Structure formats: C-alpha cells, structure tokens
Amino acid sequence: MTSLGIVAPQSMFFSTPLPLQSGAELCDYTLVYETYGTLNADHSNAVLVCHALNASHHVAGSYSEDASTRGWWDNMVGPGKALDTNKYFVIGVNNLGSCFGSTGPMHTNPATGKPYGARFPVVTVEDWVQSQARLADALGIQQFAAVMGGSLGGMQALAWSILFPERLRHCIVIASTPKLTAQNIAFDDVARQAILTDPDYHGGDFYEHGVVPKNGLRVARMLGHITYLSDDDMAVKFGRDLRSGAYQFGFGIDFEIESYLRYQGDKFSEYFDANTYLLITKALDYFDPAKDFGGDLTKTLSNTRAEFLLVSFSTDWRFAPERSHEIVQALVNNKRTVTYAEIDAPHGHDAFLLDDQRYMNVVSAYFARAYKEIDGGSLKAGARA
Amino acid sequence: MTSLGIVAPQSMFFSTPLPLQSGAELCDYTLVYETYGTLNADHSNAVLVCHALNASHHVAGSYSEDASTRGWWDNMVGPGKALDTNKYFVIGVNNLGSCFGSTGPMHTNPATGKPYGARFPVVTVEDWVQSQARLADALGIQQFAAVMGGSLGGMQALAWSILFPERLRHCIVIASTPKLTAQNIAFDDVARQAILTDPDYHGGDFYEHGVVPKNGLRVARMLGHITYLSDDDMAVKFGRDLRSGAYQFGFGIDFEIESYLRYQGDKFSEYFDANTYLLITKALDYFDPAKDFGGDLTKTLSNTRAEFLLVSFSTDWRFAPERSHEIVQALVNNKRTVTYAEIDAPHGHDAFLLDDQRYMNVVSAYFARAYKEIDGGSLKAGARA
C-alpha cells in the first residue's frame, strides 16, 4: 500500500448567497477542498468524505516529505486502501466556519470590512451539505458513488441521504448518532463556556486584540479528549502512572494522564480557532433530523434512496453503538439495504480514525462491492433509481 | 420521622502541629464540627460521618426555619432515620482545607500573617483521618460504632479502617472507590486547569485582589455535575428540551441542560473557594491506600478489624459498582464480614445523597443490627476485639 504522495488543496469561490437554516445567509463564500484519484467518464465514481470537529479537507496524502503533514484519514484513503483512489475519485471539503481555509470567522465580513468573529452565522450540518452540493454541481458530479464520514462527518453523510436522496448511491456513517444526548450537549456547553468566559475571547473579536483565548480552548480540548477515549483505554495507556514516580503535593503534573491532556490542550490552542470551536459544537448539538418529523427517525429516513453502511465501536461512549442501532433500525423499518458492523475495539470514539484491520476490511469490502456497480456498468441498467 | 431541628456548629482548636503525608505540617488548626444525639455512658455509640467534595460538618438539622439551611444528609441522619440520632451520637466534621470553617486556604497563615492561598499544604484523605482522630480523642471517643461516608467520604471511612483498625467497629463506604481511574483524574485535572488558568486566580492569592476565579470555578462545577448524573438520568430530566421551544442560533442558552449546568456553576462559584476545590480534588486523586502494598488491596485491608457495609449504585459512572466490588472482594479475601448492596437507581453518583427507600432500608437495617451490640452490652463480652 502506497500513499497518495504530495497533494495540494484547491479552492472555489461561490458568489451566490447561501441561505442558512438560521434564516441568515452568507452573501458569498469560498470552499477549500482536495481531490484524489480520477473522475471517470460518466462521473459515477466520486466519493465525498466529510470531516469531523477538528479535521479538514486534507483527508489523505501529504503536503511535504514531513509525515506530520499527512491527511487525517490517510490510513483509509489512498491507492489500494479501503477507499481506493485507483478506483474512486475522492473529495475532501473543508466546512464553512472552519479555520482551515473555507470561509470562517477569521475571514473578512464583507458587510463590515472586519473579521466575522462571533458574528459569523451559526451554521448547521444541513447548511454544510447544501454548500457541499454546490461544490458537487461545480465539479460536475450529479450523483456520488458514496458520501462518507465519521462522527460529525457521519452526520453530514446522513443529512445528504435525507436532503439529496438521489445524489448518493451509498451512505457511510461511522461512529455517529442521529442526535446528541443531553450528556453530549452538556460536555459541549462546558467547553463553550470555557471559551466564552475567557477574557481573551473579547466577545469573539480577539483577532483585533492580537490574542487568542488560549486557556478556554485548552480546557475545551482537554475535556473533548476525555470523551474521545474510552475509560478502559485510558486505564491501559495511562492508569495512575506518575510522571516522576512520586506525588508532588502541588498543582503541577503528577499523573501521566494530566501530562497527556495538557499537552493536547496546549497544542490545540495554538492552531485552532475559538470561534470555529463554538460553531462546530453548535452544529453538533443542533443536528437532529428527526426534529421536523416529530422525533420519528423512521419517517425522517423514509425518503432516502441510498444503501447504507454503518459502523460503531464497542467502547465509544461519546456516540455509543446504541446510537447507530437507532439509525439501523429506522432504515430497516424503511426496508433500506443496510450493512452494519460493530467493531469490538478498545479505543473509544477515536477508534474511527485508527487502524483496525477488521474495521478497514469492512469498509474495504463495502467499497469493493459498490465498485462493481460502476465497473460492471449496472448503473446504466437503472441502479441509480 | 422528625428532623433534628435547629443545630449549631462547634469548633475545636488544636495547637499540636499536624504532620502531613507531604512532609509538610500544619503548625496549628481548628476543626469545625457538629454533633447530634447523645453520647452514651461508655462512649460506644458514636458515629463519624465524613463529607465529600462540596459538603461540610453540617450533616443534618437546620440553622434556621429556612429549609435551605438543612444539612446535606438530613434525609439519612436524624431521630428515627436510617442513622438514628435517638440511638447514636453522630459527629460531622469539616475537613482541613475546606472553606466551611475548619482551617483552610482563606485563613491566616501564621508564618506570613496573610491568607494561606495556594500555600495551604496539600492534604490527603489520610491527613484528614489523622486530624479527625485527634477530635475523637478530645471528645473522649476511643472507638466509633461506625465511620461512614459517601464518595470522598467513603474513602475517609475506608482509610479509618486501615489506619485505626481498633477505633471503629463498622465501616460504611457508599458510592466510593479504592482509587480513582485515569478518567476520574482526567476530569479533576481539567477542572483544576480551568481554575488555575483563570486570570482572577492570581496564583491562589485572589483574596487580596478582591476577586474570585469565578469563571474557572464555574466550568469546574459544570463539569463535575456531568459526572455526578447518569447519562440516562440526564436524558429523562432534560433530554433535548429547549428553553424557548426553538434553536436560538447563538451561544446563549438553547437547551435546558445548558441552563441547569450554568445555573449550578454560577451558584457554586459564588460560595465555594477555588483553593479548596484544588485541594479536595487532589485528595481524591491521591487516595490509593494499596499504593504502599504494591497495588494489592487484599494486603492493604488485611489489618482491618471492622465489619463493613458497602453500597453502590447501578448508574454511577463516576465510581461504578465495579469499584465497590474491588473493595468487597479484597475484604472477602481477608474473611472480613461484609454486607454489600448494589442499588438499581437511575441517578448516577448523586444517588448516594438522594432518597431511595431500598437504599435507606439497607443502611437503616445495618445500623439497627449494629446497635444490638451496644444495647445488648455484647461489646463488653469482647466484641471490640
């Protein structure tokens, strides 16, 4: 298995205003994206990969020889990999409101000539899907072979299947949920409060003060990390191991787990935008497609046309397997074709990003089977209907 | 069942320095405590109730007609209640480092003439037990009928059974653990970092600046509350209920769970001391009596002489039933007499403070049986051995 090698992002400007679920609109915007592999003649082999909280359009390949520039799902996407770029044309797109290139809070608000800051409109998973659909239009992709994502990315894939049922043949939803629980929302709100009450946040206008709300972001990220790992995994990786072999009887670092979390928090606070963090957690909290159907997920998914692959991980307590079961059950109620794999993995929510041979095999086999439609030409015989 | 009515705290000054586990010492200190009921002639009916994170010596009764001044375990302790003050002499004592009267960070450091602040020494569960033993000495109590506590209070009860095996006949450990997991420590450290990095913390010397690190304390408390409630309980109590029926598309309050947590955080930050919060979470993190026995809990508990009651709650994910099982197993390995009850309760860790008839019945029956030793005079026949 080789990597994609050096890749480069592209960008596309959209001058048509994008109406948002909130009632606001973005008057214009830029989407940054990457593509890997080659779009085939009838444009039937495109796969859209949607990203989660702190990831981006940089799904696979590297920006330089430096391995640290590798994409966040490089173990999944590439030549000969589970999502095989020798067969599929893969698109990674950075979501609106992010801090990795697409229009976001640090960009200039055309209405004021200053950075959007906290005035960047709250965007939803559905808003992202609408903006992605315009990119697909521009790239000449009427129907995706698959839309795929993990966690918040899985929500986008699910939203695609609801909003544009004819525009994807397969929907791949990994380690995701049809909606956040009260506990999920609670964690998100503590993180947001840490940022919003950091004096360096300056009501979202910290850019012009030349500071960032580092302390708030740091706490938010530390907290996030606890929910990404399983209790068991933390016990195995860190347990009660002490940094220096003995209690320090102070408030510095005693335990290895403290060292790990503070390091993760520090690193994150140096590159991630605080307004983006707020926006993305709101998109997570608001996602609830069944809300407009009286909470009935079966009804919500009744217009979907795609085939589905769902994957969950046994120790994921952020979006537990039960959350995937709800989606599977609603799809089965609608007599959709669903493949479901529950991977017994120790790594909690993070497992969706990690190498696990059974997990990769499931996705690989699914894409191999889906490719037969493309390769065998069965699409023309009506498989798109 | 009637309440104890109006009660009042007492205090005792100790001029003998207290050596601490850290190697530091407190040159002198005051303990604030309350007592309920009457100490019998042979001083055999005393029960020590140890408190958890944000509680105090004010276990039961009220300070006025105002019901909000009721003690934190008033449902458990009183005339005719599970811990019956018509039979037992109950003592609640405020721990060193607390902010409710016993010597703590906001008190004057005799060495400097200024408040201790962050220079208050880090105290451990074992240090608390040593200080409590001196209070028992002063009150003429050589042996407690029982030492009892929930959560961090349960750790103190367990430490009593190890440090002073002959000084308690019964050890009651509720919703507790023999040591924190990496995940428990992780949550504590995020809370501490929120406080320590709050600019209003001023390195612990916020008293002289006339401010409190309200934002940090608030985030710490919000986070704590998530771990006290079960996921299920949160789902039932709050679910995804919206404060005003519709998404607000901003960073104010959307969900009821946000409103609840922010309210709890606000309230807490107005009365609780930040340095105390740091100290108490450290005491939690450091508690690990088996550490000196190569991690062998059976060996750790081999010198205990008490009989034990352990109670856990099915949905407590902070200190799950499995943590109590570890203690029970180690006691059984030592052929100790152990009663264990696992209460199927939806309220998570908080259940130990709440009314649950089965829970109260277990504790009530246990104390009624223990009272026969006192009442029947079997103590003199050697039951103390």
What would the pLDDT profile of B338-378 be if each residue is shown by its tens digit? Answer: 999 999 999 999 999 999 999 999 999 999 999 999 987 66
Euclidean distance between CA atoms A105 and A274, whole angstroms: 9
Q: Which of B20, B190, B257 to probe by mutation at the A interface, max A CB count within 10 Å? A: B190
- Nearest chain B Cα distance for residue A196, angstroms: 9
Tokens 């929302």 sit at which residue?
A: A185
Pick the catalytic residue: A62, A316, A324, A350?
A: A316
Contact criterion met (CB < 8 Å) for B278 and A182: no
Tokens 């933390």 sit at which residue?
A: A234
HSE, side-chain direction, 13 A CA sphere, residue B151: 22
- Picking from B122, B199, B258, the nearest residue to A249 by CB comes out as B122
Contact criterion met (CB < 8 Å) for A187 and B288: no
Euclidean distance between CA atoms A350 and A345, whole angstroms: 10
Euclidean distance between CA atoms A214 and B280, whole angstroms: 26
Give the helix/strand (H/E) hosting A79: none
Q: Using DSSP, state whether B19 is helix, strand or coil.
A: strand
Pick the catalytic residue: A58, A225, A347, A349?
A: A349
pLDDT tens-digit readout, B230-276: 999 999 999 999 999 999 999 999 999 999 999 999 999 999 999 99
- Picking from A192, A194, A237, the nearest residue to B194 by CB comes out as A194
Point out the residues of B that are catalytic: 151, 316, 349
Contact criterion met (CB < 8 Å) for B182 and A234: yes
For residue B241 the two structure tokens come to 């209920």
Catalytic residue status for A225: no
Contact criterion met (CB < 8 Å) for B219 and A190: yes
Euclidean distance between CA atoms B66 and B71, whole angstroms: 11
User: Which residues are within 8 A (CB) of A268 and not within 5 positions of it... i.e. 6 or more apart?
Assistant: A54, A217, A218, A221
- pLDDT tens series, chain A, 385 aa: 468 999 999 999 999 999 999 999 999 999 999 999 999 999 999 999 999 998 999 999 999 999 899 999 999 999 999 999 999 999 999 999 999 999 999 999 999 999 999 999 999 999 999 999 999 999 999 999 999 999 999 999 999 999 999 999 999 999 999 999 999 999 999 999 999 999 999 999 999 999 999 999 999 999 999 999 999 999 999 999 999 999 999 999 999 999 999 999 999 999 999 999 999 999 999 999 999 999 999 999 999 999 999 999 999 999 999 999 999 999 999 999 999 999 999 999 999 999 999 999 999 999 999 999 998 766 754 444 3
In three state form, how does the secondary structure of B328-358 look? HHHHHHCCCCEEEEEECCCCHHHHHHCCCHH
Pick the catalytic residue: A3, A44, A98, A151?
A: A151
Contact criterion met (CB < 8 Å) for B190 and A222: yes
Q: Using DSSP, state whether A148 is helix, strand or coil.
A: strand
Terminal-to-terminal C-alpha distance of chain A: 35
